[in-house]
Amino acid sequence: MIRRAGASSWDVRWILACLIAWSWPAHAAPPCPRCTLDRPAKAEGPVPLLVVLHGDRERATAAAGRWRAAAKRRGWAVLALQCPVDQGCKDSWWQWNGDPSWLLAQVAAVVAAPGPTTIDPARIYLAGWSGGATYLGMHAPAWTTTFAALVVHGGGHTPGDACPDVALPAYFLVGDRNPLHASVKDLRAWFDDCQQPIVWDLVRGGDHDKEDRALDRKKATAILDWLAAHARVPAS
């Protein structure tokens, strides 16, 4: 949601993301324009799926790049969604604030698509960075139909809605020097009020750039391991 620290930092992130993407080619077509989809070439059974939402003025490829190395190591699929231009979005999930049904439809398409590996429908997770995390928070109750747990990274906004009917664990990776940190704390308070399990991973003294850099390969792998412990439980 906040402008990145500088063009040089973004350029380096973009180049690295592209190199990783080229070294680990997608094994199925993504369901939407400018989205990316990476699936393991083979697996013994259904694999977890991490769905990633990019930040403002960012592309899905760059957002996926934060997770690709860890996902490859753990044998996960990664779907990075580009905010849909044909639905009226420019380059910001939270400013678009479109109906979550579009996002859920893209995930459903990936789960249903044939491929060398299948997706475990009980282990699908949603991660948002910056403005993507803000959009994630704004619609938090809507995610329980598909996602087992959430990752809130460097952004967030309370939905102001009733609590979800089923468990919705959330992992927060946030810095206390982000100018909009108060909004993230409001989202945490919503999860607390709803008695939802959370991890509050605070980057002390962390501005938006430090929040971004906090998600290195080691941290991403640790978060994937945390997510893997949570399977979606359908509403009774």
Per-residue pLDDT tens over the stretch 19-47: 433 334 444 689 999 999 999 988 999 99
- How far is it between the farthest Cα atoms of the chain? 50
Nearest to 136 by CA among 71, 7, 78, 50: 50
Q: Is the pLDDT assigned to residue 57 strictly greater than 50?
A: yes
Block residue for tokens 């620290």? 5
What is the residue-averaged pLDDT of the chain?
89
- Candidates 84, 50, 53, 81; CA nearest to 68 is 50
Q: According to the model, what pLDDT value does residue 235 have?
A: 65
pTM beyond 0.85: yes
Radius of gyration, alpha carbons of the chain: 16
The whole-angstrom separation of Cα 207 and Cα 178 is: 5
Q: Identify whether 235 is part of a domain.
A: no
Could you tell me where the DSSP H helices lie in the chain?
7-23, 60-65, 68-74, 93-96, 100-112, 131-138, 181-193, 208-214, 217-228
The pLDDT tens digits of the residues spanning 138-196 come to 999 999 999 999 999 999 999 987 899 899 999 999 999 999 999 999 999 999 999 99
For residue 165, being part of any structural domain is answered with yes
Asked, for residue 155, whether it belongs to a domain, the answer is yes
Per the DSSP assignment, residues forming a β-bridge with 78 are: 38, 50
Of the candidates 147, 157, 134, which has an alpha carbon nearest to the alpha carbon of residue 55?
Answer: 134
Question: d(Cα 141, Cα 137) in Å, to the nearest integer?
Answer: 9
Distance, in Å, from the CA atom of 227 to the CA atom of 199, rounded to the nearest integer, reads: 11
Is the predicted pLDDT of residue 216 greater than 90, yes or no?
Answer: yes
Question: What's the CATH code of the domain at 176?
Answer: 3.40.50.1820
Which residues, including other chains, have CB under 8 Å from residue 118's CB and lie 6 or more apart?
A: 45, 46, 47
In a domain, 236, yes or no: no
Residue 220 lies in a domain: yes
How many angstroms separate the CA atoms of 21 and 35, rounded?
12
Number of domains in the chain: 1
For residue 29, give its domain range. Answer: 7-228
